[in-house]
Structure 1
């Protein structure tokens, strides 16, 4: 009976791992999709306000889509206490508005390949923050080694032609790293809220409110967004679906599993982001530093999830 139980537990873990990997594959595809969106919508590199409007509509539509889905399932989308609504508003302003402000700005000043690898720092932040917040999610030897390997990968991708030639753009790489930290901290806050609010409803509200704040802020700053044929509709629709599916599924995974078990899968984002950026944007992924960085971050995933002794 014990072996049957162990087999059932392992099967459940495999489903969780597959779902987490699927979320990260979707998020990785966002890098080439966003940069392609800049070209399709004809948004200039220095037009930050229009980039914010673009991001805002993506999350506003994603939030509305999730809330409609929750209503179809007869979930209580509006029956919540003022304190709960305040928590959702704070989550939306941090996890969506603030985080994606820095993410979209950073991606405008770095490549899709490099940005996807830099964003993997969010995994370290999640594992480290969970160590101080949750009693059952402490750092172990394997987690520490995995984080060191992953962080080393991030350092490698910023090297130039020589080992002492370090290239780090504050506007580009720095903004992406800051966005990763904000997402990690906000995700832990979202895990707490998901214990009292349905994850789909929570994600719908936080994306919708955060997206609305981005749209308003972008337009007030002089931004604009005009459709340019079917391609612009298609790319915005894809980003909308990507956000709604990935964030809702990720919130469910975080509600029922330890952060330390789920967060390390974020290391898959740079892998999928780098490969897809290479395919769709024609960016060079064959440089030794990119290959070495991807090997290191993938090794980090393995070590963090490896059972102790």
Structure 2
């Protein structure tokens, strides 16, 4: 039915955006569960069933299981970084981080992915990509940071440098925000690792096993440090956990890392800027939260940043200030190492057709 109503490029755009929609809405769902449970249990109970669902789907589609020590070694490393560390830091950060600021911090990882991908894989960023990343950072900051901070920064308010202000900001940027930044770093490392992991094992299968193996240390931490974390969970809490497990983890992770294994990491990761936008829209539609003019401007900048990063190889290639390089639009290079940039015009990866 979907194929009859929507052209293939539109279907691909919806598929490409779906992980970020699920992540944004799952954050809202999990926020309501936080007061009734503990962080390590919440992270583990989200990962383990999701990994099982992904492996069942992989088996039904005939995807091969890992073979050899090298394949399992990469899966184990991937599980520690993007399973245990990412989900653990994320759950810890949710304990005392506001939804807006938390989204800003954790969704800063495209900046790290772009830098790491350029370093390890030689992915092209260019002036347009750099401008897009900067606009994205400004946009998500406008969405999530307190407006009085933004106004003070724009007006160069001297009170920001006063001892009292430093103490207040230091108290605000405390343990929760630090955990979110560590989660962002872990996700960025996991994203950059996926092309290497996919050389030894199917990316969807690797995603399933990484969720299961990554949940084991989290269950161990929960057993050792937390006491009956399930006893205060309500029926709606279990429903929120189920949504975060099935849609926010199993489906979102499977799609994201399948794209990451086959496409341009900088382009794909830039779409993470959509996550706080989806979270805010979801909160507005269902919870009656109002977007301020500053947040609307931030959402607009975020969308513009994604366009610039996605189209950076098709826009006229401008040289950096001071450079003598002269390149016309027609000579814009293709993605390095034969990678296909992830954009609506490029169509889905071959394995997804």
- TM-score band (shorter)? 0.7 to 0.9
Displacement of 1:143 after TM fit?
Answer: 0.5
Gaps of 5+ in 2: 1-6, 154-159, 161-168, 317-353
Displacement of 1:94 after TM fit?
Answer: 0.8
Match of 1:181 among 180, 185, 193: 185
1:59 and 2:47 aligned: yes
Displacement of 1:142 after TM fit?
Answer: 1.0
Who is 1:305 aligned against?
Answer: 310
- Say which is worse superposed, 298-307 or 200-209, in terms of deviation: 298-307
Who is 2:4 aligned against?
Answer: none
Who is 1:139 aligned against?
Answer: 125
1:95 and 2:82 aligned: yes
Displacement of 1:164 after TM fit?
Answer: 2.2
Who is 2:152 aligned against?
Answer: 164
Match of 1:36 among 24, 27, 32: 32
Structure with larger Rg:
2
1:130 and 2:103 aligned: no
The answer on whether the counterparts of 2:104 and 2:145 sit within 8 Å (CA) in structure 1 is no
Helix, strand or coil for the counterpart of 2:32? Answer: helix
User: Superposed, which structure 2 residues align to 1:136-285 within 5 Å?
Assistant: 137-156=123-142, 157-161=144-148, 163-164=151-152, 167=169, 168-226=172-230, 228-242=233-247, 243-280=249-286, 284-285=289-290
Helix, strand or coil for the counterpart of 1:164? Answer: helix
Partners of 1:261 and 1:17 in 2: CA distance: 13
Helix, strand or coil for the counterpart of 2:148? Answer: coil
The structure-2 alpha-carbon separation of the partners of 1:52 and 1:278, relative to structure 1 and needing over 3 Å to count, comes to: farther
Displacement of 1:251 after TM fit?
Answer: 1.3
The structure-2 alpha-carbon separation of the partners of 1:293 and 1:172, relative to structure 1 and needing over 3 Å to count, comes to: farther
Displacement of 1:258 after TM fit?
Answer: 1.1
The answer on whether the counterparts of 2:104 and 2:141 sit within 8 Å (CA) in structure 1 is no
Match of 2:20 among 11, 19, 24: 24
Count of residue pairs the alignment pairs up: 288
The structure-2 alpha-carbon separation of the partners of 1:305 and 1:152, relative to structure 1 and needing over 3 Å to count, comes to: same
Q: CA RMSD in A?
A: 2.3
Who is 2:300 aligned against?
Answer: 295
Displacement of 1:202 after TM fit?
Answer: 0.3
Displacement of 1:288 after TM fit?
Answer: 3.9
Who is 1:8 aligned against?
Answer: none
1:84 and 2:71 aligned: yes
